[in-house]
Amino acid sequence: MRQVTAAVMEKGGRILLARRKNGALAGKWEFPGGKLEPGETPEACLRRELMEEFGVEAEIGAFVCSSKFEYKHLPIELLVYRARHLAGEFKLTDHSAIEWVKPGDLSSYDLSAADIPVVELLLGGK
């Protein structure tokens, strides 16, 4: 099972979602993050991925939850952390769009399957 990190980044009462541009989940919305490399902590991975994918520096905060899902192409364990944007303007490289979404609107997006339990937790449904 591949470990993948994801950030719940909040700004002004809204949460960042990103729409995947390529790959098996192209077009799906997700909490941004990426694959954990050998020897890397989840927090370091998330900082690196946010810099690589968006060109932003972030402070990684508290662990939110873990979500496991078996996609046809790869079983994953999503490790979700709170994150705070520190510096840099968001640039899109691996994603076709980003949106700052009101928490109550998160479930109206076409989310990647592993991200759905995270939204339910954030909305108090679990």
The CATH T-level fold of domain 2-122 is: Nucleoside Triphosphate Pyrophosphohydrolase (3.90.79)
pLDDT at 25: 77
Query: How far from 36 is each of 3, 89, 117, CA to CA, in Å?
Result: 6, 24, 20
pLDDT at 85: 96
Q: Is 116 helix (H, G, I), strand (E, B) or coil?
A: helix
Distance CA 83, CA 26 (A): 24
pLDDT at 116: 94
Q: Is the pLDDT of residue 24 over 80?
A: no
Say how far residue 29 (Cα) sits from the centre of its chain.
Answer: 9
pLDDT at 7: 98
Q: Is the pLDDT of residue 126 over 50?
A: no
pLDDT tens across 88-125, in order?
A: 999 998 899 999 999 999 999 999 999 999 999 999 86
Q: What ranges do the domains of the chain cover?
A: 2-122
Average pLDDT on 64-81 reads 90
pLDDT tens across 25-71, in order?
A: 789 999 999 999 999 999 999 999 999 999 999 999 999 999 999 88
Give all strands (DSSP E) within 12-104, no chain letters. Answer: 14-20, 29-30, 33-35, 57-70, 75-87, 95-101
Say how far residue 65 (Cα) sits from the centre of its chain.
Answer: 12
